Amino acid sequence: MIRIPILLLLICFISCKETPKQEEPSIKKEETSLMQMSVDTLIYPEELHFKSIQQVTYGGNNAEAYWSFDDKQLIFQSDYDKWGAECDQMFLLDVGELLNKKTPPMISTGKGRTTCAYFLPDNKHIVYASTHLVDDACPEVPLRKNGKYVWPIFDSYDIFVADLEGNITAQLTNEVGYDAEPTVSPMGDKIVFTSTRSGDLELYTMNIDGSDVKQITDELGYDGGAFFSPDGTKIIFRSSRPKTDAEVKEYKDLLARGLVQPTEMELFICNADGSDLRQLTNLGNASWSPFFHPSGEKIIFSSNWEAAGGFPFNLYMIDLDGKNLKRVTHGKTFDAFPVFSNDGKYLAFSSNRNNGGTRDTNLFIAEWQE
């Protein structure tokens, strides 16, 4: 859920180094339990949790791929111009398909900019955020403010429900300001999202029909990219928490201009009602895109905490008590947006591996092993 504008990440980070060039993977002829998986040419030797891996997209910037509740489909966002996307739009993928020669169906409106789609429990509808009510055109994306890397927080985002043919069936938010980054509880009853309706970027929950909205965070800083635990009792999210007077002033000044600076973020965890809030990581740099391990006892996330120059990003796992930090991927550029399938057998994520030295970010599905 990006929560995160893909192109901004690429410009800021991916231009620093070229992606290692690898041979195009060959595909096994036999079919595995879920999909045809490639031989392991895309797996680095240290990536022991990946039994096999398949590249799914082959161009453009593709991210935030989220599984249907039955694990048969993925919804993801892409700005691939060959698919008719001028900026991030939502596309549907049947698990097992490869998009090297096929165009997936766009199921957002094709207007404005969209972000963070997630399946609803019926597997027939998605929830996502879009700016299309304000303008059909893609909004301008600022990259830097006063020489510093920034993300835009468009106040034109609202949250919608659509069917898998792209028909909008409901509008869940209608407040002034930014409403985006919705994800759905595995219990199928609640949505967590980020909003500026309080004047700051806070987390809220609501029923899947948009009713019973409750604010669950209230500390200064960008609280976003939230996900429920497998049993729906906890929420993991990323946050920038300014501490000094100078940091607070900078944060507030940027937010007043619809911007945030995401270079310092840590992970926080709380109960689904916002109680028992605590900081999970204290790594420095930017830790973000967290997701619960199927056991509910660990978090997988992306971070550049080991990078002196802000780059590369790799995937890590950490226990819920903040112990046993472990590196999962070992790329030289960018691995992020890790999301486990509901049955825990597969991990979808976005990566710059095997992009031929371009700035493309593609989707990959790895067969997971403990």
Encode pLDDT of 339-348 as tens digits: 999 999 999 9
Q: Which stretch of 147-151, 160-164, 192-196, 290-294 has the lowest confidence by average pLDDT?
A: 147-151
Alpha carbon 314 to chain centroid, angstroms? 14
Distance CA 302, CA 325 (A): 12
Two tokens at 308?
């002196």
Domain boundaries, the chain: 6-368
Residues 6+ apart with CB under 8 A from 323: none
Its pTM stands at 0.90
CA distance 360 to 358: 5
Residues 191/183, Cβ–Cβ less than 8 Å: yes
Q: Which amino acid is at 286?
A: A
pLDDT digits (tens, 9 = 90+) for 102-117: 999 999 999 999 999 9
DSSP tag of 11: H
Encode pLDDT of 15-43 as tens digits: 222 233 333 333 333 334 444 444 467 99
Q: Measured between alpha carbons, how far is 128 from 115 in angstroms, rounded to an integer?
A: 6
Half-sphere exposure of 12 (CA within 13 A, CB side): 25
Higher pLDDT, 128 or 35: 128
Arithmetic mean of pLDDT, 182-209: 98
Q: Encoding tokens for residue 334? A: 């960018």
Question: Does the pLDDT of residue 60 top 90, yes or no?
Answer: yes
CA-closest candidate to residue 364, choices 337, 344, 342, 345: 337
- Runs of H (alpha helix) within the chain: 6-13, 245-256
Give residue 40's pLDDT.
60
CATH code for the part of the protein at 6-368 = 2.120.10.30
Q: Is the bond into 312 cis (omega within 30 degrees of 0)?
A: yes
Please determine, for residue 307, whether its predicted confidence score (pLDDT) is greater than 60. yes
Beta-carbon count within 10 A of 274 CB = 17
The two three-digit tokens of residue 111, written as one number? 């207007």
